[in-house]
Structure 1
Amino acid sequence: MTGDDDARTYAVVVNDEEQYSICWNDRDLPAGWRREGTAGTRSECLAHIDEVWTDMRPLSLRRWMDEQAPTG
């Protein structure tokens, strides 16, 4: 059995900077993280993250870059 195919259920989690990760579904989350709503196998959760996390920049950086962009 590989690490990708273990029997545990995972949850997709996201922090205030809109960065994604996974954790075991039955564990308490570390401070600053919340459940995104997707749960399943490790592979399923990672595939979901690949789909939805298209901009790897932290939210604060994206906002700053938007503020710096010329208007016109």
Structure 2
Amino acid sequence: MFISNFGSGKMVLLLPLLFAIYFLPSIIAVLLNREHKGKIMAANIPAGISWIVWFGILAWAISGREKVKF
């Protein structure tokens, strides 16, 4: 019911935005080259269940150590 009233054109634009917000900690960890980006990405998948956990992972992605470059 909701989807048919919302319109498929708007839904095509909304879904990528929602996925980007959901995986924001993973995106930040990759862009900032964090040492534990694999663990952050793995923890991000079930983190959407709890906003508290999601914000914790977001803080971890922002404040984590940068991976050493050789």
TM-score by length of 2: 0.28
Structure with greater proportional strand content: 1
TM-score by length of 1: 0.28
